[in-house]
Amino acid sequence: MIQFLNCMREIAARDENVLNLIAKIWFAYGGILVFANEQLEFSAFRLGLELLPNDTLRPGPSIQIKLGSGREKEALAHELLHLDLGLSGYPRLVQNTFSDGEQRQLANSILNIADHRVMRPMFEELGLDPERFMSTQDGIAPQWAKHVEAFESCDPYASPCEYLERASTYLHSFGIADPVWGACKAGAWQVIQQ
Ligand SMILES: [Zn+2]
């Protein structure tokens, strides 16, 4: 596992704030998998929250970072902030409770977009250039434009409660009704009873 930690530290390139974020996420999750190479199409994260037979939740976090993009450090911070939202009590979808794989993928893509509005101030607080929050490629993917518009133009939803309400309503409008959500409270992952 240690090579994953070192890989992230290398990408952080001695940026103190990003190094601190790495340490926070790493220790809170007890390690995360990191894949970094030039062949990757884009950078991404996966929380991999699973419901276990004993009704507890277990996250299986991983990130992938596209190397050679010129914004590796920012991409790393971006993906780590997605994982940080999970630690801060923001609702996350439980992955293995979907009966339909396509719905799961759509829901994950929509929530990736929903996260961004909450993450952007955090990204700036790290002292990173807001222009480098996303790769330009991410910004213009036409199939996601309507979702981006929906989450950028609605009332703010800064708290975990507001996020849950906004995201649930939006997913519902795409036929994704009552998915199972989990949240991390005081270090323990629990199913959110709605
Ligand atoms: Zn993202």
Contacts of 41 (CB under 8 A, 6+ apart): 66
Helix, strand and coil percent figures for the chain, each rounded to 5: 55, 15, 35
**pLDDT tens digits, 29-77:** 999 999 999 999 999 999 999 999 999 999 999 999 999 999 999 999 9
Residue 146 to residues 64, 113, 132, 135, 164, Cα–Cα distance (Å): 25, 10, 21, 18, 19
**pLDDT tens digits, 83-136:** 999 999 999 999 999 999 999 999 999 999 999 999 999 999 999 999 999 987
**42 CA distance to ligand 1 middle (Å):** 10
**140 CA distance to ligand 1 middle (Å):** 13
- In angstroms, the CA 41 to CA 60 distance is 22
**112 CA distance to ligand 1 middle (Å):** 5
**159 CA distance to ligand 1 middle (Å):** 18
The domain spans of the chain are 2-191
**194 CA distance to ligand 1 middle (Å):** 26
**3 CA distance to ligand 1 middle (Å):** 24
